Every structure is written in structure tokens, then in C-alpha cells.
Amino acid sequence: MTVRFDVNGRRAEVAVEPRTSLADCLRHHLGLTGTHLACEHGVCGACTVLVDGEAVRSCLMLAVQAEGRSVVTVEGLSNDAALSPLQAAFRRHHALQCGFCTPGMITTAHALLTEEPDADADRIREVLSGNLCRCTGYVGIVEAVLEARAAYRGHKADAAS
Amino acid sequence: MKPAPFDYAAPNSIEEAVALLARHDGAARPIAGGQSLMSVLAFRLAAPALLVDLGRIPGLDAITIGADGVTLGARVRWRDIEKDGRLSGAHPLLAAAIAHVAHYQIRNRGTVGGSLAHADPAAEMPGIAVVCGAEITIVGARGERTVAAGEFFTGALATVLDTDELIVAVRLPPWPAGRRWGFEEFARRRGDFALAGIAAFYDTDAAGRARDVRIGVIGATNRPCRLPAAEAALEGRIVDDTAIAAAAAATRASVDPPDDLHAPAAYRRALAATLLERALARARR
């Protein structure tokens, strides 16, 4: 089947089997290997992407279900010029070691802070409870997301003015 | 793992969807958010020939609050319930229970109808439907029917749904102001399936005695159910420490969970009773 959707602001048209997950479509058909797959059944959160601005597990969504939607992957949340506020905060707080879970952490945290830039530590922990990290013990990740809030408050103010 | 191959259709109406399901005579499965079905497919616990996507059918995503209660369209997501500010007043038990469903990402896609149809014994929505006496509206090739939630679930992952039938809505009866309630569940990681959960509510008469007591359990039985013995222990009584202890004892005696990977039977039995004590402590505050 042919499926058409936007990926990181670009139009994509891909021929996929109906059983292809959005995650496999992004990685294998579109070469966007920043989205990581670990459990492939909705437990670990590594494959989190944004669909119409909402964080979803791309292993639990069929590529054909993305028809007409707007998908943003971790590649779409970065640029070559400078680290994003979340990336910079993750580096500063040592919020990653092996880095495998990091794309899912960044996409999930981005969705959360875009919607709730004042999220407190409890809320951040609750939201990130769907993302497994086997290296850090999470403390650095929570601290990084807390610190990155300032940048999202700024964005919200900019958008409003 | 990857799912076995299947065909895919995304019809624009319920009639079309039902016709597709009927034509495939058990070999087709409906999909909406896919938050339960996708892992079932990945593990190849099911290998349907066709998936019928309900995503394009209009009119399935409304939350309606009226004199006959709260009606949730089958495609209402956990996120929609969480964000609907009316529900904390119109049905506080629903709002509190749904706060425990799954994780952030899953809440953005998981649906009410999907949870009811999947019928996991530890899932919150089926438990709330049963304890509240909800009605589930179903459409199939032979037309529409309404089933009481208490008769809908027939076992773990099993319901009365026929292979050509779809859930279109669930209606929870009106929630009177002043009703006393509590919801408690325990999972090792927040958002994971509960090892056990208890919903309890009652109204009070002029003398402060509990009336129309409802107690429901999830996770410690093979399907969500009410606990009549625990309800009887409270009915017509002041909900004090003695009454709560009697209801907890009745709960322990009523549930008979199996030993499994996650917890021994004795643990789940004790947990259900403890959660009931906590739910009632919250209800009588």
C-alpha cells in the first residue's frame, strides 16, 4: 500500500506492507534511524515519535495509520547549528550513557514541555515512567528536563506575542 | 517480533466496517488505537487476514454528559478523558480511575472501546463499567444491541462480542452529587497493569448509613466483577472501622486469584483487601 504523510516537515510517500509499523517505516523506508526500537510491543518507549504533536509509540502504530498525519522524529527536533535546549540540558546533566533510550526521552520530554512547560518533577517522572533507561537511574534525565522547561516557557511566550 | 501479514481497510462508516467483518467471518479484526492489538499481533497471538481500521469513521469520539449519565464514544482516548474538565464533577470515579491507565504515549492513542473489547482482567475501564452498571452499545450485521457491562465480560480477554460486532459507545449511569467513592490500585511501575485494583462507592441516607454500595475489583479475578459479599457487609451501615474491616474480610474471602509470574495468590488476595480499606478510607473522608 502507498501511504503519504509529513515527516519532519517534508512530504513522504512510501510503499509499505500493511503490517509495517510506523517505526519500521521510519527506519527502513525513510532512513530515519534516530528512532530506536527495543521491545517492539509498547513497553520501553524508545521508539516514541510525535504524531500531530502528540507523543506516541511508533511500534504500536501501523505506518498506514499515519496517512495524512504529521510525524516528527528525534531528527526533526535537532539542527546542525546548535544543540536544542533539551539536548544541551541532557549533555549538561549527564542524562545519557549508552544513548539508546535518548531519542525516546527527548521526543517524550519535548511533547510534555510543549504542552506543559511548568511540569514539576513529579509530573515529569510520571510521564517518563513510560520510557525505560537501563544506564542512568533517571535522576540526570529528570534534572535535564526540569532545566529545559525555561526554554519552552520562552517559546510559549514568543508564540503568544 | 513482527506481525504476520494481513490486509488493511479503513472504511468511512460503521455499516461498511461491520460488512467487512461479517464477510471475513472471524478472520478480520477491528483496530482503533491499536495499543492492545498491536502487541497481540507482534507476539502473533492473533493473525487476522484483515484489519478494519475504525479511525476514519465519524461520530465515535464524543464525550456526552447528560441526564442519562456519561456516554463515551468507542474511540474516546484516555487523553480525551484526562483533558475533559467536566468529568471530575460529572463522574469523579471515572476520572480518577482513568488517571491510572497506561503510560503517556499509550494514553494518546488507546481508546475506551479498545479496552472494553480487549477485556484485560486488570484494565481500569472494564472495571469501572462493571462496578457502575454501564451499558455497552454494540453494532453488528444483525443490527444494534445493548449489553450490561456485568454480562459483557466472560473471562480473561473474552467478551460476548461476535466476530462481526463493534462497540460504538459505553454509557455510565448518572453520578449523584455527594456520592462517596474511592479508587485504589497497585502496580509495581505506575502505568503498568495493576496487580489489583478496587473501586468502591455508596450514597448515604439521612442517618449517614451507606446505601446502594458498589464494590468492584480488577486484577485479582479472571474478569472485572463486583463483590456482593463485601457490598453486603457495608449496606445500611455506618462506614466505620468495624464495617470496613468486615468488608475487607469479605473481599479476602471473595477473590480467588491464581498464582502467576507477577504475584502469588495470597499476595493478590491480601492486596485486594488492603486496597478496599484504602478506598473506603478515602470514600468516608
Give the model's pLDDT for residue A161: 40
Across residues B265-278, what is the average pLDDT? 97
Cβ B79–A18 below 8 Å, yes or no? no
As for how many domains chain B has, the answer is 3
Q: What percent of chain B has pLDDT over 70?
A: 100
Query: Can you say how many angstroms the Cα of residue B9 is from the centroid of all Cα atoms in its chain?
Result: 27
Cα–Cα distance measured from residue A95 to residue A83, given in angstroms and rounded to the nearest whole number: 14
Does residue B68 sit in the same domain as residue B26?
A: no
Q: How confident is the model at residue A155 (pLDDT cuts 50, 70, 90)?
A: low
Cα–Cα distance measured from residue A134 to residue A20, given in angstroms and rounded to the nearest whole number: 27
Cell of B144: 444494534
**Angle between helical axes of A121-128 and A102-115 (0-180°, round to 10):** 130
Rg, chain A, Cα only: 15
Whether residue B255 is contained in a domain is answered as yes
The residue type at A14: V
Q: Which of A20, A24, A57, A127 to mutate to test the interface with B (most CBs of B within 10 A)?
A: A57
Cell of B148: 450490561
Cβ A108–B43 below 8 Å, yes or no? no
**Which position has the grid cell 503490517?**
A19
Supply angle C-alpha B217, B219, B220, rounded to 5.
75
Q: Does residue B43 register a pLDDT over 90? A: yes
A4 touches A13 (CB < 8 A): yes
Whether residue B58 is contained in a domain is answered as no
Residue B99's H or E segment, with its range, is none
Does residue B31 sit in the same domain as residue B73?
A: no
Report CA dihedral (B68, B92, B101, A98) to the nearest 10 degrees: 140
Across residues B226-246, what is the average pLDDT? 98
Cα–Cα distance measured from residue B233 to residue B183, given in angstroms and rounded to the nearest whole number: 18
Give the model's pLDDT for residue B190: 81
Does residue B194 sit in the same domain as residue B154?
A: no
Q: Does residue A158 register a pLDDT over 80? A: no
Does residue B109 sit in the same domain as residue B130?
A: yes
Instruction: Tell me which of B144, B172, B200 is where a domain ends.
Output: B172
**Which position has the grid cell 462507592?**
B201
Chain A environment of B105 (Cβ under 8 Å): 45, 48, 55-57, 108, 130
CATH assignment at residue B137: 3.30.465.10
Mean pLDDT (chain B) is 97
Whether residue B98 is contained in a domain is answered as yes
Give the model's pLDDT for residue B192: 87
Interface predicted TM-score of the whole assembly (ipTM), two decimals: 0.94
Give the model's pLDDT for residue B241: 97
Cα–Cα distance measured from residue B128 to residue B214, given in angstroms and rounded to the nearest whole number: 11
CATH assignment at residue B211: 3.30.390.50
- Report the largest interatomic distance among the alpha carbons of chain A, rounded to a whole angstrom: 45
Q: Does residue A148 register a pLDDT over 80? A: yes
What kind of fold does domain A2-77 have according to CATH? Answer: Ubiquitin-like (UB roll) (3.10.20)
B26: left (phi over 0), alpha (psi -120 to 50) or beta: left
Cα–Cα distance measured from residue B79 to residue B225, given in angstroms and rounded to the nearest whole number: 25
Phi, psi of B108 (to 5 degrees): -80, -15
Nearest to A18 among B42, B51, B105 (CB): B51
- CATH 1.10.150.120 range(s) for chain A read 85-160
Closest chain A C-alpha to B190 CA, distance in angstroms: 7
Range of the domain at B224: 180-283
Cβ B53–A18 below 8 Å, yes or no? no
B121 touches B221 (CB < 8 A): yes
Over residues A78-96, the pLDDT tens digits come to 988 999 999 999 999 999 9
Cell of B149: 457491562
- CATH 3.10.20.30 range(s) for chain A read 2-77
Residue closest to B32 by CA, chosen among B94, B74, B69: B74
Whether residue B2 is contained in a domain is answered as no
Cβ B103–A62 below 8 Å, yes or no? no
Give Cβ neighbours of residue B242 (< 8 Å, ≥ 6 apart). none
Query: Can you say how many angstroms the Cα of residue B253 is from the centroid of all Cα atoms in its chain?
Result: 23
Cα–Cα distance measured from residue B241 to residue B243, given in angstroms and rounded to the nearest whole number: 6
Cα–Cα distance measured from residue B280 to residue B65, given in angstroms and rounded to the nearest whole number: 27
Cβ A19–B41 below 8 Å, yes or no? yes
Cβ B39–A42 below 8 Å, yes or no? yes
Residue of A nearest to B100 (CA): A126
Which residues of chain A have a Cβ shorter than 8 Å from any chain B Cβ?
A: 1, 17-19, 21, 24, 40-42, 45, 48, 51, 54-57, 59-62, 64-65, 67, 108, 111-112, 126-130
**Which position has the grid cell 466483577?**
B225
Instruction: Tell me which of B147, B172, B197 is where a domain ends.
Output: B172
Closest chain B C-alpha to A82 CA, distance in angstroms: 28
Across residues B96-116, what is the average pLDDT? 97
Nearest to B108 among A55, A64, A65 (CB): A55
- β-pairing, A70-72 with A54-57? unpaired
Cβ A1–B8 below 8 Å, yes or no? yes
Cβ B105–A21 below 8 Å, yes or no? no
Does residue B84 sit in the same domain as residue B101?
A: yes
What kind of fold does domain A85-160 have according to CATH? Answer: DNA polymerase; domain 1 (1.10.150)
Q: Which of B78, B104, B111, B189 to mutate to test the interface with A (most CBs of A within 10 A)?
A: B104
Cα–Cα distance measured from residue A74 to residue B117, given in angstroms and rounded to the nearest whole number: 33
**Which position has the grid cell 519500521?**
A24
Residue closest to B22 by CA, chosen among B163, B166, B168, B167: B163
Does residue B67 sit in the same domain as residue B49?
A: no
Q: Which of B103, B118, B120, B189 to mutate to test the interface with A (most CBs of A within 10 A)?
A: B103
Q: Which of A3, A19, A134 to mutate to test the interface with B (most CBs of B within 10 A)?
A: A19
Cβ B42–A61 below 8 Å, yes or no? no
Residue of A nearest to B106 (CA): A56
Helix (H, G, I), strand (E, B) or coil at B262: coil
Q: Does residue A156 register a pLDDT over 60? A: no
Supply angle C-alpha B34, A26, A82, rounded to 5.
120
Closest chain A C-alpha to B111 CA, distance in angstroms: 13
Instruction: Tell me which of B129, B156, B172 is where a domain ends.
Output: B172
Supply angle C-alpha A21, A26, A47, rounded to 5.
70
Q: Does residue B200 register a pLDDT over 60? A: yes
